[in-house]
């Protein structure tokens, strides 16, 4: 049985999709592409350039003009990939708390999504890819061979994000992270354009009480069960 060539992994923030997507792509020798980094890069650059994130027109113009590139890791500092925005390495900057707070409104703008979705689809059509995001199975690759939706309680997801920030040696406030994550969940699930939701034919996996190796094993079970 042949493996699915285009795999979509969706889910809310810190549900484990980036970690699992990266590990799965490595196991399969597929391209790993976390589409969320594009929206984060736009958000970070907007903040750095003093663009008001509430100014939809200005943020959309930025998304249309900025050059974003995602490559294999260029440094051995725990990153899964390297993200460039206009040739500047912003891999860790796009994980900062201010980006966490601002990325959902930015990603809800139809013009921003349209500008970045075109590029995501082009990359996905090449196949042999694990694409991770919030609307891959519903919008970007609705015809993906396998669709996975990872979820977890918001408290557990906030704890994961807290540990991630602390591990980088940066200050973190769990309660603030939890508030930001609840707010982000609300925005992502209620936006008019590509709201966060599982595709009708997605495999839903609750990762709240699961270790990474357990989640990966469950996803792999579906990979080899799938008949594209």
For the chain, give every domain's residue range: 6-222
User: What is the reported pLDDT for 126?
Assistant: 86
pLDDT interval class at 70 (50, 70, 90): confident
Residue 7 above 80 pLDDT? yes
Collapsed DSSP state (helix, strand, coil) of residue 107? helix
Mean pLDDT of all residues belonging to the chain:
93
For the domain made up of 6-222, the CATH class stated in words is alpha beta
User: What is the reported pLDDT for 226?
Assistant: 67
Residue 225 above 90 pLDDT? no
pLDDT interval class at 227 (50, 70, 90): low
Contact (CB, 8 A) for 51 and 141: no
Mean pLDDT of 101-117: 92
Collapsed DSSP state (helix, strand, coil) of residue 63? helix
Mean pLDDT of 27-47: 94
Summarize pLDDT for 212-221 with one digit per residue, the tens. 999 999 999 9
Edge-to-edge strands of the sheet including 88-89?
Answer: 68-71, 82-85, 88-89
Q: 183 exposed, middle or buried (CB, 10 Å; 0-12, 13-18, 19+)?
A: middle
Q: Which residues contact 215 (CB under 8 A, 6 or more apart)?
A: 16, 20, 150, 205, 207
pLDDT interval class at 1 (50, 70, 90): low
Say what percent of the chain tops pLDDT 70: 98
User: What is the reported pLDDT for 142?
Assistant: 96
| Cα 178 to Cα 155: distance, rounded to the nearest angstrom | 7
| Cα 66 to Cα 121: distance, rounded to the nearest angstrom | 18
Residue 9 CA from chain centroid, whole number? 9
Residues in the chain: 228
Residue 37 above 80 pLDDT? yes
Helix axes 36-48, 97-108, angle to 10 degrees: 110
Summarize pLDDT for 150-193 with one digit per residue, the tens. 999 999 999 999 999 999 898 999 999 999 999 989 988 998 88
Helix axes 97-108, 174-190, angle to 10 degrees: 10
Contact (CB, 8 A) for 179 and 155: no
Q: Name the residue with higher pLDDT: 154 or 78.
A: 154
- Find the farthest-apart pair of alpha carbons in the chain and give their distance in angstroms, rounded: 52
């Amino acid at each position: 049985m042949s493996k699915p060539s285009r795999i979509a992994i969706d889910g809310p923030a810190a549900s484990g999709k980036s970690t699992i997507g990266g590990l799965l792509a490595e196991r399969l020798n597929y391209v790993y592409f976390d589409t969320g980094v594009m929206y984060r890069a736009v958000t970070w650059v907007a903040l750095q350039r003093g663009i008001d994130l509430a100014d939809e027109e200005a943020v959309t113009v930025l998304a249309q003009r900025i050059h974003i590139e995602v490559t294999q890791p260029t440094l051995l500092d725990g990153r899964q990939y390297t993200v460039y925005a206009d040739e500047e390495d912003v891999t860790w900057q796009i994980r900062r708390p201010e980006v966490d707070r601002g990325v959902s409104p930015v990603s809800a703008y139809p013009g921003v999504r349209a500008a970045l979705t075109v590029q995501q689809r082009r990359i996905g059509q090449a196949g042999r890819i694990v694409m991770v995001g919030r609307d891959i199975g519903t919008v970007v690759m609705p015809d993906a061979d396998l669709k996975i939706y990872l979820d977890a309680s918001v408290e557990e997801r906030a704890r994961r994000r807290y540990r991630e920030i602390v591990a980088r040696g940066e200050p973190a406030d769990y309660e603030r992270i939890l508030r930001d994550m609840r707010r982000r969940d609300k925005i992502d699930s209620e936006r008019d354009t590509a709201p966060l939701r599982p595709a009708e034919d997605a495999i839903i996996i609750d990762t709240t009480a699961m270790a990474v190796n357990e989640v990966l094993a469950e996803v792999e079970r579906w990979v080899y069960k799938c008949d594209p």
